[in-house]
Amino acid sequence: MTKPVKVRFAPSPTGLLHVGNVRTALVNWLFCRKYDGIFLLRLDDTDAARSTEDFAEAIERDLAWLGLNWDEKARQSDRFDRYNEAVETLKADGRLYPCYETGQELDLKRKVQLGQGKPPVYDRAGLNLSDGDITALEATGRKAHWRFKLELPARVEWDDLVKGPLSFDMAALSDPILIREDGSFLYSLPSVVDDIDFGITHIMRGEDHATNSAVQAQLFEALGGDVPFFAHFSLLTGAGGEGLSKRLGTASIQSYREEMGLEAMSINSLLSRLGSSQSIEPMLSLEPLIEGFDFSKYSRSTAKFDPKDLEILNAKILHNTDYAAVSDRLDNVDEALWNICRNNINKLSDINELNLIVKGPLQPVITDQEFANKAADLLPAAPWDDGTWKAWTTAVKEATGAKGKALFMPLRQAVTGMDHGPEMGALLPLIDPDIVKARLQGNAA
């Protein structure tokens, strides 16, 4: 690579980040960090009607939570003068021309072409308009939309970092509209101008943008820029190969964090490896994902996303997380309890329920009060240690004849209010003996 890697993640602040957005951000960020590059966060906020500052702040908040820091930041809304300069350059070079067809007229043209067995490619009628034609059209109230004139005949080719050699016959494509009738820009022109001005070396996005990349390659050249390297990775589907529904595909990262209580690294662990031959493992940090990032491992097959995988990864991550890494997010939970209970939680908030076992108040579950009273009388003297549970259950067994599940389950239910949970030998010494005795007597404590 002849110059430093520079990539961009360019969300529109018209909504919250979702799985698809973050997968794109992750691919760009991991590649960038592996090659000590520069990561640009560009807010594509040219849609003034839909873009909001709240969404912009939410995007930054989500990226920060995921650990995807940025080196530079830009907003397209600050750069309209620059886009207008590019427009004048394209017009002067004959690469941008006005068209006046309505949407209905364009639809009719496409239907006629399809009926004749021809591809529905724009016929470039706008190029044939005289000054008089334009004056007459505008006198009727029509306003121009502006198309970029593709160079023909031509093929645009590149060696895609994921898909390998790609080639596009530009004659099969319509001249793209860059400016709408109301004067607003479509995506391509501001994006290419920004990529040139900010020195973007690599553009990495979903495979549905491959044709756009072919068109934009000519736009880069028309504006005097270097065409970046391209990588187009496979799109996401549901677990069964179905298209991602709104429920699965656009569930916001904010909802995964705030409503589901997932860890950031469960999302990073899944989305960074999804669609590649690399195994999906519960990573505790981004560093191994950076080190292991490799486009050659990415598959051309569709990647399948299942939210259940996030929950599984989340639990595994917490099971391997040290107390120091979460202590500032815990409320009155000490290290001993964390070490004993972390293997029994699926999300961090689960520890609060287990903390009630130690600190109370908790409503015991008593199935046989006479048995519980006898067990209370046989409680060993304090202080308790790791051997207390075994000594106690042995004494209860000898006194009552209960054994196996009939012995252990009633005691667990009375002490913890649950029929499952952490290993009792380690948990019991953390609970005050008076609390245990009160619960065995059927009292909330």
Peptide bond into 361 cis (omega under 30): yes
Structural tokens at position 382: 């304090």
Judgement on whether residues 367 and 425 belong to the same structural domain of the protein? yes
Residue 249 has pLDDT above 50, yes or no: no
Judgement on whether residues 365 and 433 belong to the same structural domain of the protein? yes
183 — pLDDT class (breaks 50, 70, 90)? very high
Judgement on whether residues 37 and 150 belong to the same structural domain of the protein? no
Angstrom distance (rounded) from CA 280 to CA 166: 29
Q: Which of 383, 432, 385, 441 is nearest to 414 (CA)?
A: 441
Judgement on whether residues 117 and 144 belong to the same structural domain of the protein? yes
Query: What is the phi/psi pair of residue 202, to 5°?
Result: -135, 130
Residues of the chain with pLDDT > 90, as a percent, come to 91
Check which CATH number belongs to the domain holding 363 and give it. 1.10.10
CA dihedral angle for residue 295, residue 300, residue 301, residue 302, rounded to 10 degrees: 70
Angstrom distance (rounded) from CA 15 to CA 1: 35
Check which CATH number belongs to the domain holding 226 and give it. 3.40.50.620
Q: Report yes or no on 362 lying in a domain.
A: yes
Cβ neighbours around 86 below 10 Å, total: 22
Judgement on whether residues 62 and 132 belong to the same structural domain of the protein? no
Q: Report yes or no on 169 lying in a domain.
A: yes
pLDDT in tens, 355-371: 999 999 999 999 999 99
Structural tokens at position 2: 């002849």
Cβ neighbours around 39 below 10 Å, total: 22
Residue 241 has pLDDT above 90, yes or no: no
If phi over 0 gives left and psi between -120 and 50 gives alpha, with beta otherwise, what is residue 404?
left
Q: What is the mean pLDDT of residues 406-412?
A: 96
Instruction: Please count the structural domains in the chain.
Output: 3
Number of helical (H) and strand (E) elements in the chain, helices listed first = 20, 12
Judgement on whether residues 99 and 77 belong to the same structural domain of the protein? no
Q: What is the mean pLDDT of residues 127-140?
A: 96
Angstrom distance (rounded) from CA 192 to CA 200: 9
Which of 145, 162, 179 is where one domain is finished? 179
Residue 245 has pLDDT above 90, yes or no: no
Q: What is the mean pLDDT of residues 10-33?
A: 95
Judgement on whether residues 46 and 194 belong to the same structural domain of the protein? yes
Judgement on whether residues 171 and 221 belong to the same structural domain of the protein? no
Angstrom distance (rounded) from CA 260 to CA 283: 19
Judgement on whether residues 77 and 190 belong to the same structural domain of the protein? yes
Q: Report yes or no on 249 lying in a domain.
A: no
Angstrom distance (rounded) from CA 12 to CA 434: 58
Q: Report yes or no on 250 lying in a domain.
A: no
Contacts of residue 146, Cβ cutoff 8 Å, sequence gap at least 6:
87, 96, 97, 98, 99, 177, 178, 179
Q: Residue 211 is which amino acid?
A: T
Residue whose entry in the numeric block shows the structure tokens 């592996």? 34
Q: What is the CA 217 to chain-centroid distance, rounded?
A: 28
Which of 204, 220, 237 is where one domain is finished? 237
Angstrom distance (rounded) from CA 436 to CA 55: 50
Q: Report yes or no on 328 lying in a domain.
A: no
> Who wins on pLDDT, 275 or 346?
346
Q: Where are the beta strands (DSSP E) in 177-334?
A: 177-179, 202-206, 229-233, 236-237, 303-304
Range of the domain at 128: 94-179
| pLDDT value of residue 244 | 63
pLDDT in tens, 292-326: 999 999 988 888 899 999 999 999 999 999 999 99
Do the Cβ atoms of 342 and 333 come closer than 8 Å? no
- What mean pLDDT value characterizes the chain? 94
Judgement on whether residues 76 and 201 belong to the same structural domain of the protein? yes
Which DSSP symbol is given to 1? -
Judgement on whether residues 134 and 201 belong to the same structural domain of the protein? no
Q: What is the mean pLDDT of residues 93-117?
A: 95
Which of 154, 179, 204 is where one domain is finished? 179
| pLDDT value of residue 301 | 82
Please calculate the CA angle 193-198-201 and round it to the nearest 5 degrees: 95
Judgement on whether residues 99 and 223 belong to the same structural domain of the protein? no
